[in-house]
């Protein structure tokens, strides 16, 4: 009898993991997906010449997506808002006005550049010379930095950028597993309900393994 194709819902787990999932099962699958389908590939790209930009392009998806799970809300038609909130969780700026200005500019120059133009825009640069994940520069007036104007440039250190996101995600998963922050746990479960369609009928492949691989 032909075997059915195994349905992997993450690199380490098949569909059985979510048939009647516990909270721990949901966290397991989420962590496995983000680490092995998203963060690990980004880290591998950083090991090869000329792949830093591709790694950053992949990592830019983290901010909006993690905000969905942290807020328990849908981001449809609110992409810029969710990106800015998620960005602020990873890269905090104490001054609220500057924080909003930086996040909005980074959304336009980096995220929208890659999403709509296929490349970062003209205010984004890359350098490993400084330890900052992102160095933000401003125009000057009479030799003095003028933060009342728009951001002049972003200089991204790709490895440090990755490290910051990895650290944020590891801490988030740790807090989910600890369970002390019930509001965070409830928001995560709400996001799973919004995004994973666990209560909907199964999407059957409708083919045996032999049929799938038949020329």
* Encoded tokens for 135: 């160095």
Give the mean pLDDT of the chain. Answer: 92
In a domain? residue 36: yes
Give the containing element (helix H, strand E) for 174.
helix 158-178
10 in any annotated domain:
no
16 secondary structure, DSSP code: G
In a domain? residue 137: yes
- 3 occurs within a structural domain: no
Answer yes or no: is pLDDT of 145 > 90.
no
Task: Provide mean pLDDT across the span 6-28.
Answer: 92
Looking at the domain assignment, is residue 88 inside a domain? yes
**What is the rounded average pLDDT of the residues 115-123?**
96
Q: Evaluate whether residue 152 is within a structural domain.
A: yes
For residue 205, pLDDT beyond 80: no
Task: Taking residues 104-117, report their average pLDDT.
Answer: 97
- Asked if residue 34 lies in contact with residue 165, where contact means CB atoms within 8 angstroms, the answer is no
Domain count, the chain: 1
Is residue 2 a part of any domain in this protein?
no
Which range of residues forms the domain containing residue 203? 15-213
pLDDT for the residue 202: 65
Q: Report the share of the chain in percent with pLDDT over 90.
A: 77
Adjacent-strand bridge partners of 126: 156
Query: Is there a contact between 128 and 159 (Cβ–Cβ < 8 Å)?
Result: yes
- Tokens read off for 83: 């990106």
Beta-carbon contacts of 211 under 8 Å, excluding residues fewer than 6 positions away, are 2
């Amino acid at each position: 009898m032909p075997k059915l194709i195994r349905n992997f819902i993450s690199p380490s787990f098949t569909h059985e993991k979510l048939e009647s999932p516990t909270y721990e099962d949901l966290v397991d699958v989420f962590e496995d997906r983000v680490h092995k389908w998203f963060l690990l590939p980004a880290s591998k790209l950083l090991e090869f010449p000329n792949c830093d930009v591709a790694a950053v392009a992949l990592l830019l998806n983290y901010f909006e997506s993690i905000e969905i799970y942290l807020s328990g809300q849908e981001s449809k038609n609110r992409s810029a808002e969710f990106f800015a909130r998620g960005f602020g969780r990873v890269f905090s700026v104490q001054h609220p006005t500057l924080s909003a200005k930086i996040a909005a500019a980074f959304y336009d120059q980096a995220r929208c550049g890659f999403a709509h133009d296929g490349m970062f825009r003209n205010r984004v640069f890359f350098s490993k010379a400084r330890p900052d994940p992102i160095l933000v520069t401003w125009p000057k007036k009479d030799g003095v930095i003028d933060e009342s104007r728009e951001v002049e440039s972003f200089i991204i250190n790709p490895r440090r950028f990755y490290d910051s996101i990895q650290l944020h995600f590891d801490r988030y998963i740790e807090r989910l597993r600890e369970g002390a922050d019930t509001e965070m746990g409830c928001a995560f479960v709400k996001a799973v309900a919004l995004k994973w369609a666990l209560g909907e009928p199964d999407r059957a492949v409708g083919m045996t393994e032999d049929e799938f691989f038949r020329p």
